[in-house]
Structure 1
Amino acid sequence: MADAVLGGSAEEVFAKELAEAGLRYEVDGEIATITLDRPEKRNAQTFATWSALARIGDNLPEQVRIVVLTGEGPSFSAGIDLRMFTPEGVPGQGSFSSAAQLENASFEDTVEQAQQGFLWLRRPEIVSIAAVHGHAIGAGFQLALACDLRIVADDVKFCMKEPALGLVPDLTGTKPLVDLVGTAKAIDICLTARVVEAQEAYRLGLAEQVVARGELARAVREKAEALLAVNRDAATATKRLLRGARERTLEEQCAAERVEQARRVAALFG
């Protein structure tokens, strides 16, 4: 039985709010699973999706070490709900048309709030795994990129669609994409809005593992078990080192290693 996320009726209210945003959320011991659950819309995302993801991050139980992102139905996520491009928008959430009427600073605040649903997946005390199958388009691609690891089914189709729609990717996806594949390849992927399928994704480093669609859940479970076998504090410190490595010089990274190791030795033998 999954552990309680919030107590009593508060838990039920939280689950109801997440369901309205198209998400399911379960915590089982040290593993939290977030499921995009609008299969009839191919798990298209809205402002409510991003707000709900941020709230999950804010309320993540301390014991959680692994966060799995997955999608119900034939796709991981087909991107932004197309109703957001219409004047009417998504009921109760508005549209890009209404957002365009905001002052620049206000609109940037709106984007910043949406980004919070993605940024917390990089925190050092957890390892996030995207279990990706079918379409991962635009916001779906960026949600996968927000995770530390991507295990993909052999039917996966990544695509950064925003430039083809006259927009830019703004849900924290541009940096990890460049970090993983390099600037030139990122330009190619984004500015052609082409589809990247499973084997190319693996070659480019967008996926750590490619499995048959029916083996995806098992592969993710095995990866989670392997990650949980490592000392938690050592894993957190190592992820912190690795996440910061690109921004540091070699000398700065060596200094950071010394600091982290001194902490670990003191904790283990002090």
Structure 2
Amino acid sequence: MASLDPVIDPVLDKDGVRLTVEDAIATVTLTNPAKRNAQSPALWRALAEAGRLLPGSVRVVVLRAEGKSFSAGLDRQAFTPEGFDGEPSFLDLARGSDAELDATIAEYQEAFTWWRRSDLVSVAAVQGHAIGAGFQLALACDLRVVADDVQFAMRETSLGLVPDLTGTHPLVSLVGYARALEICATGRFVLAEEAVATGLANIAVPMDQLDAAVHDLATALLAAPRDAVVETKALLRGAQDRTYEEQRGAERQAQARRLRDLAGIGD
């Protein structure tokens, strides 16, 4: 996917991940199209590092990928006896203690958690295959813009595993329990039309319009005052865990903060 942006020196560029920052927009790009942006522990550490390196000025983070596929999921080399160079194989991890295995998976999950920070809005630009860990990485973002060739699939269950990279919560939130179970248990593809219809994607566009559509969305997200967006995001994110009356109270409290801020009245 060719970028419309000018050349910008990267803040981070390693292990298949590149981070660039231009004013209030950061772009995280998966940069291993030859392997369809297959994922590895090194890539996950680089993604987590990208989150830590974001300047405070950033309001919108765009996640994109080079090549025809967003991400074909976990690199199957993880399941070979040799694993990746300098890394324990997943077979070795399985032989460790429960505490060690839990801690390792928790570390991997860090690559998928920071995208929903309250001070950011994250947008995934997804084309081609987004399978397994690739699907979960797209789900880690607040919003998804997809190309009309997108193919989402959650293949973990078909392989005797479960989705463990934070994808189950947003998937159920977006499409409901029954459809989420069917998608995961069958491992089938979800194409662009269904993705938009079920809420997995905000919009689908032709592949050659993907960058422009994401740019337009990012620009629109920057139009509102930052604090108002932060408060609104927090209200919406917490709504499913609150009762109706609790949500009413949260709205009142948030609006009081906004009114006092606009009036120049401090706490």
Alignment size in residue pairs? 259
Unaligned runs of 5+ in 1: 6-10
- Between the aligned partners of 2:80 and 2:158, the Cα distance in structure 1 is 17
Distance in 2 separating the partners of 1:59 and 1:253: 33
Query: TM-score, normalised to structure 2's length?
Result: 0.94
Q: Alignment partner for residue 99 of structure 2, among 75, 86, 105?
A: 105
Identify if the C-alpha distance between structure 1 residues 252 and 2 changes in structure 2 by more than 3 Å, giving closer, same or farther.
farther
Judge conservation of contact 1:74–1:134 (CA < 8 Å) in 2: yes
State the shift of 1:2 in Å: 7.2
- Output aligned runs, 1:1-270, within 5 Å: 15=12, 18-19=13-14, 21-269=15-263, 270=265
Gaps of 5+ in 2: 1-5
| Fraction of identical pairs, as percent | 55
RMSD over equivalenced CA pairs, Å: 1.3
Find the aligned partners of 2:158 and 2:89 in 1 and give their Cα distance. 18
Q: Please tell me the residue identity of whatever aligns with 2:231.
A: A
Offset of 1:93 from its aligned partner?
Answer: 1.9
Kept in 2, the 8 Å contact 1:3–1:29? The answer is: no
Note closer, same or farther for the CA distance 1:142–1:267 as it changes in structure 2 (3 Å cut): same
Q: Which amino acid aligns with 2:83?
A: G
Structure 1 range deviating more: 88-97 or 182-191: 88-97
- With structure 1 as the length reference, what TM-score do the two structures score? 0.93
Counterpart AA for 1:124: S
Counterpart amino acid of residue 106 in structure 2: E
User: How far is the alpha carbon of 1:94 from its aligned partner?
Assistant: 2.4
CA offsets, 1:166-223, max 9 Å, x none? 1100000001000110100001100000011110111111000000000000000000
Letter in 1 for 2:72: A
Shift of 1:101: 1.5
Q: Which has the higher helix share?
A: 1
Please give the alpha-carbon distance, in whole angstroms, between the structure 2 residues aligned to 1:55 and 1:23.
10
SS across alignment from 2:239: helix
Q: Could you tell me how far 1:25 is from its partner in structure 2?
A: 1.0
